[in-house]
Amino acid sequence: MKISRILHAGYLLESKGTQIAFDTIFENPFSRNCYAFPKVSFDQAQIRKLKLDAVFISHFHDDHWSLDSLALLDRETPIYGFCVFEEFFSLTKKLGFKEVHSLKLNQPVQVGGFTVTPRRALDEDVDSLFQIQAEGLNVLNVVDSWIDYDTLDLLVAQGPWDLIMWPFQTMREIEVLSPSRAEPACGELPPEWIEQLKRLNPKSVIPSSCQFQMEDWSWYNKAFFPITYAQFRHELVQALPSVKVVRLDPSLSIELSKESVLAAAPLPWMSRLATEEVDYEYDAEQVIPSTAEVAQKLGPTSDAVRAQVQNYCRFELPERYGSLTEPEENYFEKPCLWQLSVFDDKGNAEVFCYLIEGRKVRPATQVQCAQSVAWQTEVPLAKLHAALELGESLTSMYMRINDGPGAPEADVMQDPLVRCLFEGLFASYQKAQLKAMGIG
């Protein structure tokens, strides 16, 4: 079996003339500001000529399900996706794919000599894992999921495992929202990962998923990724001395057999722009730039963009917040003042002050705004506009929430802007992609 790495959790597997792909991303950057690490480029003309026998998509997040990437593929390609939302399949069909199938947990799919079986992830409403079998080989693709212990018991019984693609990063998506209040990362693997890998006892492991970085200037690059490849290898070999840890960077390939894992010819439609082996560097002591400084890095914004964001903050946001279901534990159950600061490309902030009472948000008076603000949110103008128009996700918005001393200990995911932008919405990113293609 030949296994090639595309980007992030993307792979191409080949066996006896059959080619199947997983979580196909052919964009650099993808998800707006995720860049291949090390850097690569794609030959889209060659990708359009690919004749894949099937594509499997593990879940609906935009770094796994990108319609811009799928649009490069032959529309005769069968697409298999795991998603509890029917809209996943209807939006994919809008690209013209004739076969778009819903995966069911533990129900195998046969493609040529491959048997692909989706397995339940810890968050079964979102993620799935893949068991892949061909030529007597047994491969587990964990994608970027976590495994619960019921699924682990099933997977242990499905062994032995020739290869596992294991997500090796514990990304700090929440911690970067309030960096001054976050505890430093320990830089070690979660103990349950070691325990689970010991029980699965694979012959080989690929440190998988999460292989990307943000923009070159981004402070996230030393805050988002706390685990190095070196640390992953060190801890895994200590726990499983006989395991072979196989680093597989984007575009590279291996030949897997019962006896060995050997380097193979790289993907011809990807080019490595940097040949040196890179690793992550976590720095808990770095000087973190202000939101104003970050906003200035994002490039100019037009008067029309500014006007659209202003209209959203003044009128649409209060209406949207009022339509949301009140959470069981609601910090805003009692009246409090919320300050939203939106920073333009010059680093200047336009401040919106609101009074929140339960499910109601309304502009605060000047007298009220002069009082103590209980909750503070900062966001670059360009990123707020991108979230509204392009479906940009929270992880790349450089939003800061209650980042300072004396801030409330409440869950930052209760932030009113976060809830208004993302709660109860599905496929905003993919719908924006279709709109840009002129597909309604």
Give residue 277's pLDDT band: very low, low, confident or very high (50, 70, 90): confident
Q: Which pLDDT score is estimated for 275?
A: 78
CA distance 413 to 327: 11
Query: Which CATH number does 291-437 carry?
Result: 3.30.1050
| Cα 340 to Cα 289, 313, 377, 417, distances in angstroms | 18, 9, 5, 8
| Cα 103 to Cα 79, 89, 110, 125, 359, distances in angstroms | 10, 11, 12, 13, 37
Are 254 and 13 within 8 A, CB to CB? no
pTM for the predicted model, two decimal places = 0.96
Q: Is the pLDDT of residue 276 over 90?
A: no
Q: Which pLDDT score is estimated for 140?
A: 98
DSSP assignment string, 20-69 = EEES----SSBTTTBEESS-EEE-HHHHHT---SEEEE--SSTTT--HHH
Q: Which pLDDT score is estimated for 279?
A: 95
Give residue 234's pLDDT band: very low, low, confident or very high (50, 70, 90): very high
- Domain ranges for the chain: 2-272, 291-437
CA distance 209 to 203: 19
Looking at domain 2-272, which CATH architecture does it have?
4-Layer Sandwich (3.60)
Q: Which pLDDT score is estimated for 241?
A: 97
The 3-state DSSP class for residue 11 equals: strand
Residue whose entry in the numeric block shows the structure tokens 């995911």: 413
Give the chain's mean pLDDT: 96
Q: Is the pLDDT of residue 304 over 90?
A: yes
Q: Which pLDDT score is estimated for 240?
A: 97
Give residue 406's pLDDT band: very low, low, confident or very high (50, 70, 90): confident
pLDDT tens readout for residues 118-160: 999 999 999 999 999 999 999 999 999 999 999 999 999 999 9
How, if at all, do strands 40-42 and 270-272 pair? antiparallel
Q: Which pLDDT score is estimated for 380?
A: 98
Angle between helices 381-390 and 428-437 (to 10 degrees): 80
Q: Is the pLDDT of residue 232 over 90?
A: yes
Mean pLDDT of all residues in 338-347: 97
Longest Cα separation, the chain: 75
Residues 6+ apart with CB under 8 A from 7: 25, 26, 27, 28, 30, 36, 40, 211, 212, 250
Q: Which pLDDT score is estimated for 271?
A: 95
Which token pair is 28? 């650099």
Q: Is the pLDDT of residue 340 over 90?
A: yes
Q: Which pLDDT score is estimated for 424?
A: 93
How, if at all, do strands 204-208 and 18-22 pair? unpaired
pLDDT tens readout for residues 162-179: 999 999 999 999 999 999
Q: Which pLDDT score is estimated for 440?
A: 78
Nearest to 100 by CA among 87, 110, 113: 87
